[in-house]
Chains A and B, each alone.
Chain A
Amino acid sequence: MVQKIAVAVGRQTFLLFAKTIAVFSFVFEIIYELKHFFHQRKITRLILIRQILFTGFEALTLIVFMAVAVGGIIILEGSVILPDFGRSKLLYTIIVIVIIRELGGLLTAFIIIARSGTAIAAELGNMVVNHEVESLVSFGISPVLYLVVPRVLGVVLSMVALNIYFNAAALAGTWMMANLFTSIPVSEFLYKLFSEIAMRDILSSFVKSLFFGFVVAVVSSYQGLQVNFASTEVPQRTIKGVVLSLTWVIIFDIIITAIVYLV
């Protein structure tokens, strides 16, 4: 009995180790192929542009709507609750921490996972099933160079841009709500809000968006390319991509936030 458990644990440990090595090799290959990406931009440029259009541009309306709503809700809740505790001044600190440091990156990442992460995993999975990846290999084109690198670059650039838009739209939402429902003069509101924003907040938000974009694109691409030859594997891998992307985004969020507070 003990021997069986030991064998099972050993096997699982080995599998986990092998998977970790495979993921690291994949990440290493992406970094290695980055230098070839610019030499082969004739064939990869189109994929990059399409990825930016889909991830960055087409999600803009949703991001802006969500950001304005979140900003509005925060100011509404904060301006009602905080004065009861005599901590009205904390409103601006809370806006900056919640929106710029935390929610901006996280919510943008969640939307990108839901739209682009699923699309990438499903598209790549279907490409494997339809022998499209195999045909690229037959030309000598690395699937990582042609399929993954432009998607990673596209998602990272889009994530950074959308994060900036989210923050700007959320702050605009707070301003609109402050204007509508509170008696705080707008000029005072904006002055206090911007004086709360430190370089550290902006840097933290930027670094998070870089990591989140990279993680979502890498995890989704990896899961998509793990499909073998059955189309039934595609939704399974897509769901796995979503779950793993969410998990890793939250893990990186905790790590980066901890570093920001420690440094």
Chain B
Amino acid sequence: MMEKLEAQHVCYKKENPILSDFSFTFEKPLYGIISNRNEENSNILKILAGLLNPDSGSVLLDGRNVFTSFQKKERVIRKQIGFVFQSGGLLSNLNVLENLLVPYDFHFPDVSREEKLEKILIYLNGFGLSESILSERPAKLTISVRKALLFIRTYIVDPKIIFYDDPLMNCSQQVQRSIFEMILKLKEEKTIQIFCETVDAQMYKLAEEVILFNEGELYSSSSFSELKNSNSDFVTGLILRLFAE
């Protein structure tokens, strides 16, 4: 059975409103998020992923609140949520293998080291990366490889819902291709994926639903083709800006 993520009357405000009374149910495999202020996309994703506490309202994954404490039963929820950060996020004092094993060992302590290594190598291969990087520290790798590792670290624990914050940013073409392939594969497998993207707006064409925010308020949610044919100046302006960038 496919999971669903429900936002219920979520409000979050910094200098500007980021989410205002946002209610929505995510149950399709791929959603794109566009906000009239690009810099707020990350915050929206973090709120939905339970990394930022909203001022009010709640986000539920299969009826359970994602704003967790770290008690054992709550860890089950976090295991189901993956988040690929825009940049950074790899632990600089650990090598690549140790980095990939941190969430894996934490959520799957009983799986053998050989089995884990085998799965890691499959993903490394999928992203066109060599086994030799496993012993390297992140600082020695290119930004594109580091970004690919963020994806691998998220995928190896098989989350049920994945958030991508600017997934294509700083990626080489080869890594971008692998990301597209993985996202499409997971879409077929009905894993819920939510992204915001500023590098390649073509990605929004893959989304089943694109959610538009204006000043923190839900403006519309529809397919990309419907958005393109919209008569609204706001929507046309946003789409034009997105593709111009």
Q: What residue in chain A is nearest B109 (Cβ atoms)?
A: A42
Contacts of B93 in A (CB 8 A): 50, 123
> Does B98 have its Cβ within 8 Å of any Cβ on chain A?
yes
Q: Cβ of B106 and Cβ of A43 under 8 Å apart?
A: yes
> Does A88 have its Cβ within 8 Å of any Cβ on chain B?
no
Q: Separation in Å of the A140 CB from the closest CB of chain B?
A: 3
Q: Separation in Å of the B62 CB from the closest CB of chain A?
A: 16
Q: Given A139-B107, A141-B102, A141-B103, are A132 and B51 neighbors across the interface (CB < 8 Å)?
A: no
Per-residue B-contact encoding for A144-182, CB less than 8 Å = 1, 0 else: 011000000000000000000000000000000000000
> Does B5 have its Cβ within 8 Å of any Cβ on chain A?
no
Q: Tell me whether chain A's interface is mostly helix, strand or loop, or mixed.
A: helix
Contacts of B155 in A (CB 8 A): none
Contacts of B200 in A (CB 8 A): none
Contacts of A137 in B (CB 8 A): 51
> Does B75 have its Cβ within 8 Å of any Cβ on chain A?
yes
> Does B61 have its Cβ within 8 Å of any Cβ on chain A?
no
> Does A89 have its Cβ within 8 Å of any Cβ on chain B?
no
Q: Given A131-B88, A132-B90, are A141 and B106 neighbors across the interface (CB < 8 Å)?
A: yes
- Kindly identify which residue among B51, B87, B98, B106 contacts A40, using a CB–CB cutoff of 8 Å: B106
Q: Tell me whether chain B's interface is mostly helix, strand or loop, or mixed.
A: mixed
Contacts of B107 in A (CB 8 A): 139-140
Q: Cβ of B105 and Cβ of A43 under 8 Å apart?
A: yes
Q: How many of A's residues come within 8 Å of B, CB to CB?
A: 24
CA distance A139 to B88 in the complex (A): 15
> Does A64 have its Cβ within 8 Å of any Cβ on chain B?
no
Q: Given A46-B98, A126-B92, A134-B51, are A140 and B78 neighbors across the interface (CB < 8 Å)?
A: yes
Q: Given A140-B68, A140-B77, are A130 and B106 neighbors across the interface (CB < 8 Å)?
A: no
Chain B, interface size: which category? 20 to 34
Q: Cβ of B88 and Cβ of A132 under 8 Å apart?
A: yes
> Does B83 have its Cβ within 8 Å of any Cβ on chain A?
yes
> Does A226 have its Cβ within 8 Å of any Cβ on chain B?
no
Per-residue B-contact encoding for A17-58, CB less than 8 Å = 1, 0 else: 000000000000000010010001011001000100000000
> Does A70 have its Cβ within 8 Å of any Cβ on chain B?
no
Q: Cβ of A132 and Cβ of B89 under 8 Å apart?
A: yes
Q: Cβ of A132 and Cβ of B92 under 8 Å apart?
A: yes
Contacts of B91 in A (CB 8 A): 127, 132, 135
- Kindly identify which residue among A43, A132, A140 contacts B74, using a CB–CB cutoff of 8 Å: A140
> Does A138 have its Cβ within 8 Å of any Cβ on chain B?
yes
> Does A93 have its Cβ within 8 Å of any Cβ on chain B?
no
Contacts of A50 in B (CB 8 A): 93
> Does A257 have its Cβ within 8 Å of any Cβ on chain B?
no
> Does B194 have its Cβ within 8 Å of any Cβ on chain A?
no
- Kindly identify which residue among A33, A134, A142, A146 contacts B89, using a CB–CB cutoff of 8 Å: A134
Query: Contacts A140-B78, A142-B70 given; 10 further ones with Cβ under 8 A?
Result: A42-B109, A126-B92, A131-B89, A134-B89, A138-B51, A138-B85, A140-B68, A140-B74, A140-B77, A141-B70
Interface residues of A (CB under 8 A from B): 33, 36, 40, 42-43, 46, 50, 123, 126-127, 130-132, 134-142, 145-146
